[in-house]
Amino acid sequence: MRPYLALIGITLKLAMREKAVLFFNFVLPLAFLFGFGQLMRADSGGISLVVTMVLVFGVLGSGLYGAGLRAVAEREANILRRYKVAPITPVPLLVASMAAGVILYLPTLTMILVISHYRYGLTVPGRILSLYVFVSIGAMAMRAIGLIIASVANSMAESNILIQLTYLPMLFLSGATVPLSIYPVWLQIVAQFLPASHLFTGLHSILLKHESLLDVAVPAGALLLTTVIATFVSMKLFRWEKEQKIPARSKLWVVAAFLPFVLLGAYQAKSRDNLARNELLERTIRRGRTRLVRGATLFVGDGTVLKSASVLVSHGKVEEIYTGAQPDAKTLKAESYDAFGKTMLPGLIDIAPVLESGLFPARRSLAAYLYSGVTGVAAGNPSKDLQQLQQQIAAGEIGGAELFTLASPALQRPALMPASAFDNALVQQVVPPQILGRLRGSGAPALPIPGAAFQWSLEQRVKAGEEPSAVLRSVTSEAAARVHAADRLGLIKKGFEATMFIIDGNPLEDISATQRISGVFFKGEHVDRSDLLEKQ
């Protein structure tokens, strides 16, 4: 034990004397924190993502460059040859490098957490010990990978190439630079074979969802196993002198360090659990953001209309409603969403939907409803598949209208739409062109087009003599009461969920304006409507 402690102490002393270590461990992370924080408007939400990005950058850099290049540099400078004369085995040197890296990085983690809390309002993780342990495991794993690269590299130039070939894919496919969701699914699956992806997901889960080490046991276990394997391989291939060379085939040992992630990636390619988890994390961030929707005419849902109103949305709820003078979004630390000349309404609720007609899969139907501003639908006796979708939407794993279960099914007939009305804009948007062509020629007198048919039915009710205000109340506040959600939905009201949509025009003068949708908010999330349907 004494050689290990002595080497750790020596490594720390040498590191603290180097200005480069201080720069990369403390100055650069701060630059990343403030740079990403400003770029991503972390003060209006999303600071957990920024912190995760900074931590992944730091752990990767400290591991691959800090351990890998340093080990090669010491061999090139004949420093390792002096240790050999001691005599000493390679194990204490490898362990000392990993331990020193972790010890040096933990103060950086503390600094980032403290500054993020006071500057950007980061909620201190409820499982703070889990965070420190997980970061330590990740730092050891990346340093172990850096050391195995140093073992197989014959020169500084070669080690640089090998590190870059390892570093860049992990950086750009981990989620630390750009969200994985923007990549095609096949590339998201490829990312699951890389250690940094699991490092990112584990860190973000602890920071954002306050999960424990047990909840992220799989990525933590894979990183820990990588540490053990990489250390063993580094020991076997360790070289004291630069004159020593190893055969090219020995470089294949680097693959052994990634074996846990090859197995984990194969499992994820089949289960896609991490893809769902990453989407959930991204959606949680979007729902938590603070936004100020400015200048809209507000149809509250109970018949009240507010002219030129602004709605402050934060953490998925309506935090404040302003009338008269428009508040400044920056003062409120909010993103600005201009809705001047538009009307904002509570999300519509359909208590007689058709979800399992065979026309579309239920998941696409729920997505089409949300796309159309119908943010809630009710089912009397949902199937197991629908119940699963209900749970996934409630958890934020997938996008779609909220599904309510009614003990007593609604007596209303579902909204059906004749083929003669298929030139409707919403129909054109929610129904794929090839399917629309088949529907036109099906000969059916009327069809349940998810979302679009319900919106079209509101127009028919007004044509039949109902008042637009009464029609809108029936599908907002009154419908919320029927599905037993009147305490959180159906009104745009302080403390209620920010589930609403924005349209062009005035629906009290022209009810068809509800079909001219410019934006949908679901539990505070500004829904990407085009992406919502593309994912189906």
Q: What does the alpha-carbon distance between residue 403 and residue 401 come to, in Å, rounded to a whole number?
A: 6
Which of 22-26, 52-56, 142-146, 426-430 comes out lowest in average pLDDT?
Answer: 22-26
At 409, the pLDDT band (50, 70, 90 cuts) reads: low
* Percent of the chain residues past pLDDT 70, beyond the cut: 96
At 215, the pLDDT band (50, 70, 90 cuts) reads: very high
Phi-psi region of 63 (alpha: psi -120 to 50; beta: other; left: phi over 0): alpha
| DSSP string for 30-52 | HHHHHHHHHHTTGGGS-HHHHHH
Of 226, 216, 328, residue with least CA distance to 281: 216
Of 157, 159, 166, 165, residue with least CA distance to 226: 166
Taking residue 330's Cβ as centre, other Cβ atoms within 10 Å add up to 13
411 has a pLDDT exceeding 70: no
* pLDDT at 140 (0 to 100): 93
At 477, the pLDDT band (50, 70, 90 cuts) reads: very high
At 397, the pLDDT band (50, 70, 90 cuts) reads: confident
Using CA atoms, how far residue 363 sits from 41, 355, 450, in Å, is 33, 8, 11
395 has a pLDDT exceeding 90: no
pTM of the predicted model as reported, rounded to 2 decimal places? 0.84
